[in-house]
Structure 1
């Protein structure tokens, strides 16, 4: 009951803030003699969010989209002032491109693209028959939108503000503690592979969630903007450390399965000081520094127990190198986390510039752009052919929702829910407009005549998990059909025509998604994304090294997250995806480290040449998986290992790290529990003597 009451309290606070912003916007619009207060109110309805950082982020991108759309509308009308057909055709193309841009980008940046298309339509369509109105129309629309943005931001910032910053700190702390606990508890080496896969999935979701929240919190907090680069670097160091420990645990598991228990136990003993350091989070950086200092000595002692078995000794050296890398990355991650928790005055020093690489599919964007273009062109042709007075309203609704719903995996269901909500909102607006408002006078009566019915929309929005889209559709339908003007006009016939046109536009949008289904979350897109994910290994093998580590770590996780969120948990497809994700992360990171070794060490010619061939063979294997490609990659890696072992006595300093990473790649290649297992079995059957 306490949780229910707390949830209801938060819901009604949001409803109050939303209504306050709506009515304050309406009052200011009328005071400033703006032509269509409804446009400003619609802006408020769209950008309002329980957290003020989200409101500011949405407002920022809406402002950019509004400005871009208005400028394009002015340019387009200047080019085609008397050619309505060409004007509508070019507008449809622009809206389609904006819809494709929305699919290519994430979060509220996508929303900016949607608004760029919507604003161009809002400015152009009413002025098609009178081009001289285009500049006034653009200025009025921009003024109304900006007023709504400013009021929504002020109300969200002043009235019971709820910060994203607090949620970000809480979420970051939860993920930090979860990772430290995972690193501490995984030292036994007995963690099942399924548990490792779930840990990898948690890491992926955490990394993407933290980046999304960071992108919003910078709008509400000056200190967050100052620390933005450090927060992003913290996230990327977290990803790097997570990849290293998962690779180490995989190595220990493989050694145990291949009857190399002594080497596995030696590595776990080497890992023990790290576990002891993680026993408490107090002064963790200092303890990890001490742990790093003692690892070489302990590694030498444990290595002495394996001297009679050269192969096991090499495996131990590979694991020790991996462990030392993890310990260093963990220490850097913990130290940066500690610095971010310091007071602003104690934050010292600059940090490297890093980016969180987003992965997108241009095919999905092209399909969305084509669908939206055909929808808008069809509606535009129908409007021009019939001279339907409310045709522009239908086009506006289609413009807005074609872009907004293009990023969803179930746009037809979302359109249906929005259509229902819009219809209910239109009915409520009719009751207010023609039953409650005509008998009153003044702004107070306007509030009293609309408040009981308008508050339903924001409240339904807080129940979006159970009624997705209905609340937003209701609020939009009520505000749009109420159509507050200066002065107010009561015309039932016009009201009904506009309502039918709006519902028709939504219906056409839903039909377009049925004819050209959305590819977000589809099997076709997942196959393309899986191919793109595998090609991340090729990127790790060929892309320029500066900045590649963080681009690889973040790009992989962002792409993996896109695929996994549309895959049923526990299904065969989900298990296959998890297996591929782990293999790609481990192999790609090992290739990247190997390339670093090749670049920074003076190696014998044969070692360098054979290592480069191994890198190329592995890139080809993941680009086009198959038994033949696996066989070539395995032979290439084996030859590189032989060359590195031969050169080891005379060039230990340079060849030792190369050999460690080659061994790690061979272990990953021959892992019979990985995504490569089917190709291993096929290759073994084709070469029985091996």
Structure 2
């Protein structure tokens, strides 16, 4: 049985990302991480010297890079580092064999390889991106030092693979055996806490209105949680066989959570548009259901959802769902006696449909959560993976920056014949690779340069004034320990990670003694100067060559977000909902990171995401209902209402591809025609309308219309100043 923790209280909307960040940055975890990094690096250095590896610095640098607070992260990063190292080593040998005596073509081929790898790093997710980075700069680090001695490239590749393997082995061993902190426990804790945060959010949303900023802020956190949980799930498959057995259920749980949050957002926004949230609201006649649902969820708000809680919640939701149709039929009959307008009746039907779907999907989520306690379960059979979305232009821009930096510095090296030009070019390749998947490569490169500059002073002092005075390996560990501890501490803080990376990697590369140590002050100082210069060039390139944190990328990501509606209309129905949900959230997560420091842009992107999710899910539900309709005359393909749906879909695609007042007006008119056609089709069956499948079609059409007319979306600028409540538009 998998079960974690007690019922820890959390604040409203406490997200996975922030919970993990707070947990990972507690003093105890930080100190454990620091000492584990120190032990692993010292063990690696000792073994490197005992085995007489040519470059112990490569092995110890590997420890600095792959070491993480959680053992699963270390294992996943190590595996991809090893794969990337093999790929880069093989390419360096191949390239040297093809161009052994032509430096220009050799460096051009190397730049092309770095372009491909940096593009792949920006395109991929999780530690797969790190594998691409390693493949890129490993080829540079192997080939450049022996560019004038092609016959040495094969042994250089072999030694590098051995040194990196030793670093990976030591880091993984120490991480897994010395006070291990598993990713599996962090994942389960996050899953349990996440539902309590959502329950708090849902109860507040059902009882209050008028807090749009808070509503958007918490939604943004849930978007980040969905992406973060997928990262943790993919990592735990490397670490824990028990979690591998539950990988399908965790994937399903994440997909169902996305569906639940999207459905609740749709329900809440429909009620808020019509003033039907809060204790005094009676516009749609369903206020009692909101009160009852809020009371049902409230006991689970703000605390961890454990196995027994999940089973109890599922049973309560099943009872609530079974009694809902009869209660709504009674309310509808009472409501219709007041001779409501057409729009008021559509509001009633749509709100009821969304409420029923929300309860149903919340019950499915609770059942999947409860199933995690079993070693095997039928819910493990899930074939709808998380779909990551990355803009190709953003990926190509990262590759272009990397290739340009490498070509410019290689040309500078050849023209000036600077003895430290190889170090400059090599380090620039490493820096652009590490910043390829950063949201702000300029800042990351500059931080690495500052960290390297600081460690240059420390490294020169230790190499020439401390190392000659000590004797024995214990004293060596003692004098390098402060640098390792400080760099690791900075690396553990996301806002200072670049400084820590620069300190650790380049102290290890230049100032850790080799088995054959050469004391060359001129060469060491020149190498450090070349490194800092190369990093500053990388920072300039990050600011000049298509920087990702600039309007050109925000506009493309916004366009990609809007085109998710086209995806919902055109893609095959199988696994469409989960692919649409995950892809849209992933795009929003990226866009929000790139727009850091620009709250207006972030707010606009978030509002586009919300309207895309609302309209996209309504379209998917329309397509599902249309596919399920029975073979009666009024449901045939040739019927006018089906033709009107096709025209409406085309109008929606035009609107979201190219938003504007004209396209919005035509789209609203197309939706209105579809609603009228559906109503005309069901007119002969009025006595059976309550159970007609077309009622659900009509409800989702009405929801599409109200979503397009919402006052707080980016489309609202194209609406008339005072649209009527009936919202009827004509061509």
Q: TM-score, normalised by structure 2?
A: 0.88
Query: What is the distance in 2 between the residues matched to 1:426 and 1:689?
Result: 71
Query: 1:243-322 to 2 correspondence within 5 Å?
Result: 243-256=262-275, 264-281=283-300, 282=309, 283-307=312-336, 308-309=339-340, 311=342, 312-322=344-354
Alignment of 1:503-652 (within 5 A): 503-516=532-545, 518-519=547-548, 521-567=549-595, 571-602=599-630, 603-604=635-636, 605-650=639-684, 652=689
* 2:203 paired with 1:184: yes
Match of residue 148 from structure 1: 167
Once residues 401 and 137 of structure 2 are traced to their aligned partners in structure 1, the CA distance between those partners, rounded to angstroms, is 16
Paired residue for 1:172?
Answer: 191
1:78-129 deviation per Cα after TM superposition (whole angstroms, max 9, x unaligned) = 2222222111110011112211222222332222111111111112112322
Call closer, same or farther: CA 1:324–1:140 in 2, change over 3 Å: same
Q: Residue 460 of structure 1 is aligned with which of 475, 482, 490?
A: 490
Residue among 461, 466, 488 paired with 1:436: 466
Distance 1:203 1:456, change over 3 A: closer
The match for 1:356 among 375, 386, 409 is: 386
Displacement of 1:613: 1.2
**Match 2:254 to one of 235, 245, 250:** 235
Q: Which moved more, 1:572-581 or 1:22-31?
A: 572-581
Check the 8 A contact 2:314/2:366 in 1, yes or no.
Answer: yes
Equivalent residue for 1:71?
A: 90
Q: For 2:363 and 2:647, locate their aligned partners in 1 and report how far apart those are by CA, in whole Å.
A: 34
Which consecutive residues of structure 2, in runs of 5 or more, have no partner in the other structure? 1-21, 301-308
> TM-score of the superposition, structure 1-length normalised?
0.93
| Counterpart contact for 2:63–2:168, Cα < 8 Å | yes
Q: What is the CA-CA distance between 1:172 and the residue it aligns to?
A: 1.9
Is 1:92 the counterpart of 2:111? The answer is: yes
Q: Tell me how far apart the structure 2 counterparts of residues 487 and 194 of structure 1 sit (CA, whole Å).
A: 62
Indicate the SS of the match to 2:285. helix
- Name whichever of 141-150 and 570-579 sits farther off: 570-579
Q: Identify the range of structure 1 (109-118 vs 8-17) with the bigger mean alpha-carbon deviation.
A: 8-17
CA distance change for structure 1 residues 468 and 353 in 2, over 3 Å: closer, same or farther? same
Contact kept in structure 1, 2:591 and 2:602, CA below 8 Å: no
| Displacement of 1:568 | 6.0
Cα distance in 1, alignment partners of residues 597 and 334 from structure 2: 44
- Which range moves more in the overlay, 664-673 or 358-367? 664-673
- Contact 2:368/2:379 (8 A) holds in 1: no
- Counterparts of 1:440 and 1:175, CA distance in 2: 53
Describe the shift of the 1:241–1:611 C-alpha distance in structure 2 as closer, same or farther (beyond 3 A). Answer: same
Report the number of matched residues.
Answer: 680
Write the deviation string for residues 161-214 of structure 1: whole angstroms up to 9, x where unpaired: 222222222222222111122223333363543343233223212212222222
User: Is 1:661 aligned to 2:689, yes or no?
Assistant: no
1:199–1:50 Cα change, 3 Å: closer
Match of 1:193 among 212, 221, 226: 212
- How far apart are the structure 2 equivalents of 1:608 and 1:515? 51
**1:388 has 2:435 as partner:** no
Compute the displacement of 1:573 (Å). Answer: 3.4
Shift of the alpha carbon at 1:8?
4.2
**1:492 alignment counterpart:** 521
Structure-2 separation of matches of 1:572 and 1:434: 52
Residue 386 of structure 1 and its aligned partner are, at CA, apart by: 3.7
Distance 1:533 1:226, change over 3 A: same
Separation (CA, whole Å) in 2 of partners of 1:280 and 1:382: 67
Deviation at 1:499, TM superposition (A): 2.1
* 1:230-276 superposed Cα distances (whole Å, 9 cap, x missing partner): 11211110111111111112222223389xx9874423323444334
CA contact (8 A) 1:36 1:486 kept: yes
Q: Does 1:119 align with 2:133?
A: no
Query: In the alignment, is the contact (CA less than 8 A) between 1:189 and 1:249 conserved in 2?
Result: no
Alpha-carbon distance change, 9 to 193 in structure 1, aligned in 2, over 3 angstroms:
closer
